[in-house]
Amino acid sequence: MKACVFTLGCKMNEVESASLMRGLEARGFEVTETLGYADLYLLNTCAVTAEAERKSRQAVARMRKFNPNAPVVVCGCASERDAEGFLGKEGVVLVLGAQNKGKVLDVLEERGIFRETEQSFCELPSPKQTKTRAFLRIQDGCNRFCSYCLIPYLRGRTRSRSAESVLSEARTCGAKEIVLTGIDISSYRDGEVGLGELLLLLKNVPARIRLGSLEEGIVTEKFLMQMKEAGNVVPHFHLSLQSGSSSVLKAMNRRYTREEYLACCKKIYEMFPDAAITTDVIVGFPTETEEDFQESLSIVGEAGFARVHCFPFSSRPGTAAAKKKDLSASVKRERMGRMLEAAKRAETAYVSRFLGTERTVLFEEDGGYSENYLRVYADGAEEGMLARVKLIKPYRDGVFAEIMEEIK
Ligand code: SF4
């Protein structure tokens, strides 16, 4: 595990940081004082001038660029002066001020921060897979703490499987499609390897790669370029939405607005015009007004979703949302009905866009999926068959096709 102790300000800070570094080394950390990738950041701040304070605050953002999943612990004078300001920053888990620096490491121990940092990915034997589609676990846990969700409490903080282990299973599983799964695969990181870099490592695996559920923040130009460069990643983005209303998203502790989410979809369509964007929507969150709900309804069409999984809000004791007053069952039921209709309309519109076109489909026992997640049925299709097909007409939950050519 790597720790970065970053120091601003006076000689005294430098001396204290050197002691902290020694203490971390004694706990088995590889320690650096240069900003770069690390599993834990300790920021020793300075408040001698306004500029020093500004640089101290800026350092948090710089750390998060190297590893957005690593906890940041802040101590030193700037944090003594404005603890709240640091605590409000994403990634900061603890603010300790300027006094008692000698106790910093003990406090980290007490608060379980070392334990969290050291939590490692639990390798399991490869599950029994078909030769058609294999689900490959690459990550576990979550750091996001959405206000309605218990997962971070139950599964712990995010941790990733080593890229080497992912690659080894991908090469040997023999499946024609590999689905990369995890609780929050957007946070995948093995040293310098993030999800985009992992896709590049998987580019020579003889299978098409599908991504599991993604968070909005991963959709950057760089990531989309990496997907494209990999060449074997299908254009299907399961991008969790949860609500189309910015105020509900805020109450859910999701980290984007309606506009930011739609901008992500736009970016995806610019790079992958035929992309399938699928999503999850929670209906009847406690703070959701009829107006908020209307925004959820309208975004379903606006985003051009290929599929929408919607669920009525269900209160989970122990979460922040459970403290809010639940909407009545009848309101939730009525809104669910309207959301299901909107989802159906979006799905029908999505299928219609591709009628008459050719796609590549990997067939399973009953129908199969195109690269862009159209559910396809065809006469003569067999499990495990990869075929070029022509889409003829809407059928069941997808489309009926004619097989043009089997791809061996
Ligand atoms: S909803 Fe997903 S992203 Fe949010 S806390 Fe739960 S697992 Fe994490």
Best residue among 150, 151, 183 to mutate for probing ligand 1's pocket (most ligand atoms within 8 Å of CB) is 151
Digit-coded pLDDT (tens) for 73-97: 999 899 888 888 888 788 888 888 8
Q: Rounded to whole angstroms, how far apart are CA atoms 86 and 80? A: 10
Which residues have C-beta within 8 Å of that of residue 248, sequence separation ≥ 6? 242, 285, 287, 288, 292, 296
Tokens found for residue 144? 């996001």
pTM over 0.95: no
13 alpha carbon to ligand 1 midpoint, in Å? 38
382 alpha carbon to ligand 1 midpoint, in Å? 37
Q: With 90 as the cut, is the pLDDT of residue 69 above it?
A: no
Digit-coded pLDDT (tens) for 213-268: 999 999 999 999 999 999 999 999 999 999 999 999 999 999 899 999 999 999 99
**Which residues are 278's β-sheet partners?**
238, 307
Which residues have C-beta within 8 Å of that of residue 373, sequence separation ≥ 6? 234, 236, 276, 278, 306, 307
Alpha carbon nearest to ligand 1 atom 3, residue: 144
**pLDDT score for 18:** 86
Q: With 80 as the cut, is the pLDDT of residue 117 above it?
A: no
User: Which atom of ligand 1 lies closest to the CA of 183?
Assistant: 7
**pLDDT score for 47:** 87
User: Which residues does ligand 1 sit against, CB inside 6 Å?
Assistant: 142, 144-146, 149, 151-152, 183-184
- DSSP summary character for residue 99: S
Mean pLDDT of 136-162: 90
